Copies of this chain bind each other. A is one copy, B any other.
Amino acid sequence: NPIPNMAQVRNKQVILRDYVSGFPKESDMNVVDSTIILNLPQGSNDVVLLKNLYLSCDPYLRIFMAKDTIAGLGGLTPGSPLTGLGVSKVVESGHPDYKKDDLVWGITNWEEYSLVPAAQILFKIEHTDVPLSYYTGILGMPGMTAYAGFFEVGSPKKGENVFVSAASGAVGQLVGQFAKLHGCYVVGSAGSKEKVDLLKNKFGYDEAFNYKEEPDLNAALKRYFPEGIDIYFENVGGKTLDAVLLNMKLHGRIPVCGMISQYNLTQPEGVTNLAHIIYKRIRMEGFAVFEYYHLYTKFLEFMLPLIREGKVVYVEDIAEGLENGPAALVGLFSGQNVGKQVVVVAHE
């Protein structure tokens, strides 16, 4: 009893082979050819069939690859495709809010076509005069992260001194630009000369340095912040955080966005200078972007004009093809990516 327009097509997938410990490797993933029927199964409600266009490489995926995901954040399943954020086109919809050809961004699978609960879609894409891939970055989760972390958690004031680690990344490049727009002095650290140049010449950071070439991070920070740091936008943790604590100003704030330097360590590094939280009355605050998604419309109203007028720029690092997904993802942890790491599954 075949359904008339039923079409079985190839569905390339990136599968997690096994739980990861230590640094992730390409070989922790398999790229396989599977198949999928390009129709919603009969009677399926609240489900959408997506054609995936752009997948987002995000550091948090490493946390989800661990066997015991810390804090029960939910995890990836060995033998199944990776799950992550992406931009997709609706092929068929069983949910009234979505229809064929809608563009959406949300949680999908690392494969060509995905059948997902409609609840996994986060937002419908309404503005397409900007690159669609931007919805994995500047107009997507990392953009919202920079916005919420800097403005909402950081409580910046004009003239304050801001330090950003992983400063050229998906989130960091925006934090620096937001800080400049807000009238702050901003310094970034990154892991290569190329990135340092980008920070200074493209993203408008006042100063930037390559943390890998600084034998003494404390001294480097003293050089760039003789009067101390008001806001440290924390992306990396570990040694950087320890040096920052020594250089915070009174009533400084540390929005804790991420600690990528710790995600692959079996035994995390010890941070020794926490007593400065008292001495300088520092507020250190972890946040999760998804708790700020209610601000997304406001965020778009802020962001879109800035993009259109060229007042904020965005650098992406594009990997072509799902088969290059594992290398792109793994590369985040050695700083291979220059800017937001995107994997193109299909250009529409």
Contacts and interface: CB of A to CB of B under 8 A. Distances in A.
Interface of A: 70-71, 73, 237, 241, 256-259, 262-263, 267-288, 291
A203 B237 CA distance: 39
21 contacts: A70-B275, A71-B279, A73-B279, A256-B278, A258-B278, A259-B275, A259-B278, A262-B275, A268-B272, A268-B275, A269-B270, A270-B271, A270-B272, A276-B286, A277-B285, A277-B286, A278-B286, A280-B286, A281-B291, A282-B286, A283-B286
The oligomer's copy count stands at 2
Contacts of A263: 275
B281 A288 contact: yes
A278 B257 contact: yes
B285 A284 contact: yes
Nearest to A252: B286
Nearest to A262: B275
B270 A279 contact: no
Contact of A286 (B256, B258, B269, B279): B279
For the complex of A and B, list the 9 residue pairs with the smallest distance between their C-beta atoms, beginning with the closest. A270-B270, A71-B279, A277-B286, A278-B286, A268-B272, A284-B284, A281-B286, A283-B285, A259-B275
A21 to B, nearest CB: 15
Nearest to A288: B281
Contact of A277 (B256, B275, B276): B256
A288 B281 CA distance: 7
A262 B279 CA distance: 13
Given A271-B274, A274-B259, A275-B262, A280 B71 contact: yes
A107 B282 CA distance: 25
A257 B280 CA distance: 12
Contacts of A279: 70-71, 73, 286
A143 to B, nearest CB: 18
B267 A272 contact: yes
A76 to B, nearest CB: 16
A270 B245 CA distance: 13
B283 A283 contact: yes
A72 to B, nearest CB: 9
Contacts of A270: 269-272
B269 A278 contact: no
A259 B148 CA distance: 30
B70 A274 contact: no
Nearest to A259: B275
Nearest to A282: B286
Contacts of A278: 256-259, 286-288
